[in-house]
Structure 1
Amino acid sequence: MSSNPTLNHPPSSPTSTSISPSEKPAEPAPLKSYLTVFGSTLIFYASFGLMSSFGFFQDYYSREFLPSSASSSIAFVGTLQMGLTNAMGALSGALCDRFGIKYLLLSSGFGTTVSLLMLSFVEPGQFWLVFLTQGFLMGVSISFGVQPALTVVGQHFKERRGLALGVVSMGSAMGGIGFPVMLGQVIPRWGFGGALRLAAVKVVVCYSIALCICTSKPIRSSTCKDHTFRVDFGGFMDPQYAVLCVGTWFAILGLWLPAYYVKTYADNIHPGNNVSKYFLCMMNGSSMLGATLGGLLGDRIGRFNLLWPVTFLSGCLCLFLWLLSTNLTTLIFFVCAYAFFSSNVNTLPTSIIGQITPDDKFGARTGAFYSVITISSLIGTPIGGALIVDEHVREGYRWLILFSGTALIVGSIFMLGSRTLHGKDSRRRREMEIS
């Protein structure tokens, strides 16, 4: 039970009162809730886990598969994946609210599997085919799995929503470890194509299990009598929602830069080291722990109370630990600490939206929120890459690191503003109830 009911429980909403108690779906049985969390974790493993593994693809493409393509061009494949996942969030969230999760998971699983199989037949050097299959097709397909997986977990959990979403996000980190390890072991024996086909089998297994055990609560209220659905941007009329979106927009602008560039930084500044190849696994392992503990702590002290400090600390780690690092030991500590804190920048906004949004609009408004974030997720990495003056000297990365840390700190300031607005709104509602 939360120790701060003011900041942890969703306030009553005029919108939510339009649904009578008899029209609200019944609370699901606990077993169904836990199975849904497990199924959603598998979805994140097979979808977001592939995106979290892009550091492996970036390195392999640069060295073996696409050696004539610029590193920034290859990086944009991963950036496009992330951008499309966010951009399609409003649509997939609204569809999940209205029709449930089954058809969306079928579409996502089929599209992700097909994109992996198509990628397995691409010949080396064909950048545009990689861009279309892994960047575009896989990005669109993943979007219809990630957002619905978050939505159905949010429907099942209220008091422990932060912890539940933190557990689901572990799937991304586990996939970010599992896929690179598997690909690294299989490629020397079966080749790149064979390894991707094996990855496609893993995706099919994960989605098949999730389809059998995930349950959703599609809304069938008096406000939704027909078979239409709508993308809901009405949340931006709420100042706390809008300011939170601005803060997350700035945070995402700098969030992914360490994940994309810290290995390149280590390889160029400390040539011949045998540690940087493990950075991706270190980051995913630390983020797995951070997201779970962050979700648990957020449910205890308030998700608003936790989001802005971890975002601020993530920025400070960039500005003081990464920027000033002179040896691999400091860099390893930065990689682990940054991943631990920054993992919550991804997971906590979703559970916070659930606090300030009526249940029947949770998916649509979460999707609308992240569709706006698309812009920063698309431009952050290219801007950071353009700020590298000379990739062979430590000082050449200075502006990239400053940009990443500053964006996170600016985001944390807006997040603090959203938390302040939420506190004032909660106090006003309590005073109205007392009077």
Structure 2
Amino acid sequence: MSATYEESEDLEELEIKQSSNSLTPSSEFDPPDGGIQAWTTAFGCFLMQFCGYGYMTSFGVYQDFYTRIYLSNYPPTAISYVKLPIPRISIRWIGALPLFLTLNIALISGPLYDRGWFYHLMIVGSSLQSLSLFTLSLAKPGQFYSVLMIQGVLAGIGIGLTYAPSVALISQHFSKRRTLVMSLVVSGAPFGAVIHPIMLNHLFNGPVGFSRGVLASAGFVSTLLLIACLSMRTRVLPTPSARYRVVARKYSRNVLLILMTAGATLFQTGFFFPLFYLQLDSIKHGIDVNFSFYSLVIMNSASIIGRCTAGIIASHIGVLNMTILSTATCSALLISMIALHDIASVVVMGVMYGYFSGVYIALVVPLIAVMTPDLSELGARMGIFFTFAGECGPISGALLSSQYRWLIPSLFSGVSTWSNCS
């Protein structure tokens, strides 16, 4: 058995070296690499990312609105870290909980995808996400725990069931173009994080208000989720060659995968800090509120460009090299948030961080696919990776405190992400 694992590891290392310019993992499964069904599936996966991860990363609008208006009876960090009457029990942020669930539920959705449960995952996940938004519209001001359960738990489970499988599905339809198409599909998330904040800011801060605004958003998202489910199609994959524990054992014996997972886990501790707090940060530094509403739009617009161009650039310098470059740049930018004080600094921060964070997100899944010679194990490997990568989550908000001390969380986020590069 050990000889088999060593051979598997050698194959994977050889595959990584051969795939620096293209993504063509060896497998008995031969994707068509195009066609109407392949591209409509890619469009459906794009919409799933737009409505799922894209909506979740728009939480900065909710964070700002909850802090200043809707949950103003709680301190700002209560939205991220509120203690229950039971000693030593704490609840993560409303925004961090769905992120945690999205990545950790991949440990379940990944293997289920490998075993042909794709459609079940999409239907159940989409239904839960839609239900969470319609239910959130019924929440009243000050009802922190209701919002936490609806927007944190229910939405997190729904998005978690759809996130990893909707990206992995591309491997069934594309081979040579896989890195490029995957980067285009994951660009749906920042594209959603551009549209959703504009829509939500105008609804929440206009005559519509929170309840009817969330209701309108729920109808919009639900319609797109329905279109996505109708667009995506699977192809017949080989039966998974090994049980989950065997796949996990292979994973644990692959040094490159272990290092990549450890680095991603460190990177996640600071990655979401600007996405959740840039809008609030700019408002608290006296920048015009109307402009601050568009700070997340600027960031996510740049992220779209980063994700769309990541596959093209990576084909020339290599997926791994491009990933390292993007994480190093993100680390430096996180530390530079200390100097944010005017409109120019917000624009520079939004454009630069949006672009390089987009590059990182676009290349993570292709990098896992490069290290997976047997595509019937891709879902399980993605599940293991995202489970570890989601453990730390955006804990920087707990360091912000009710005094808005931006220095400590900025340094923490920058140092933790820099550890990923080393």
Q: Is the TM-score greater than 0.5?
A: yes
Q: 2:152 aligns with which of 118, 132, 135?
A: 135
Aligned to 1:422: none
Deviations 1:55-112 (A, max 9, x none): 1111111222211122223240110010000010121111111114211111011111
Q: Do 1:9 and 1:355's aligned partners in 2 also have CA atoms closer than 8 Å?
A: no
Separation in structure 2 between the aligned mates of residue 279 and residue 10 of structure 1, nearest angstrom:
35
Aligned to 1:74: 79
In the alignment, structure 1 residue 197 sits paired with structure 2 residue 215: yes
Q: 2:269 aligns with which of 240, 249, 253?
A: 253
Q: 2:370 aligns with which of 329, 340, 355?
A: 355
In the alignment, structure 1 residue 374 sits paired with structure 2 residue 390: yes
SS in 1 for 2:391: helix
Aligned to 2:234: 216
In the alignment, structure 1 residue 152 sits paired with structure 2 residue 165: no
Aligned to 2:137: 120
Q: Do 1:94 and 1:230's aligned partners in 2 also have CA atoms closer than 8 Å?
A: no
Q: Do 1:49 and 1:175's aligned partners in 2 also have CA atoms closer than 8 Å?
A: yes
Separation in structure 1 between the aligned mates of residue 76 and residue 314 of structure 2, nearest angstrom:
38
Aligned to 1:428: none
SS in 1 for 2:142: coil
How far apart are 1:267 and its partner, in Å? Answer: 2.1
Q: Do 2:172 and 2:237's aligned partners in 1 also have CA atoms closer than 8 Å?
A: no
In the alignment, structure 1 residue 39 sits paired with structure 2 residue 54: no
Aligned to 1:106: 123
In the alignment, structure 1 residue 410 sits paired with structure 2 residue 419: yes
Separation in structure 2 between the aligned mates of residue 121 and residue 11 of structure 1, nearest angstrom:
48
Long gaps (5+) in structure 2: 1-16, 81-92
Letter in structure 1 aligned against 2:69:
E
Q: TM-score, normalised by structure 1?
A: 0.83
How far apart are 1:249 and its partner, in Å? Answer: 0.9
Per the alignment, do residues 326 and 41 of structure 1 end up closer, same or farther by CA in structure 2, a change over 3 Å counting?
same
Separation in structure 2 between the aligned mates of residue 199 and residue 401 of structure 1, nearest angstrom:
32
Q: Do 2:104 and 2:386's aligned partners in 1 also have CA atoms closer than 8 Å?
A: yes
| Bigger fraction of residues in helix | 1
Per the alignment, do residues 28 and 216 of structure 1 end up closer, same or farther by CA in structure 2, a change over 3 Å counting?
farther
State the Cα RMSD in Å: 2.4
Deviations 1:245-299 (A, max 9, x none): 1111111111111222233332223355642221111111111111111122113
The count of corresponding residues between Structure 1 and Structure 2 is 391
How far apart are 1:125 and its partner, in Å? Answer: 1.1
Aligned to 1:287: 303
Q: TM-score, normalised by structure 2?
A: 0.86
How far apart are 1:157 and its partner, in Å? Answer: 2.2
Aligned to 2:293: 277
Matches for 1:39-58 after TM superposition, within 5 Å: 39-58=44-63
Aligned to 1:7: 20
SS in 2 for 1:375: coil
Matches for 1:160-175 after TM superposition, within 5 Å: 160-175=177-192
Aligned to 1:299: 315
How far apart are 1:317 and its partner, in Å? Answer: 2.1
Deviations 1:38-59 (A, max 9, x none): 1001011111121011111111
Letter in structure 2 aligned against 1:46:
C
Separation in structure 2 between the aligned mates of residue 166 and residue 6 of structure 1, nearest angstrom:
16
Aligned to 1:417: none
Aligned to 2:346: 331
Per the alignment, do residues 211 and 268 of structure 1 end up closer, same or farther by CA in structure 2, a change over 3 Å counting?
closer
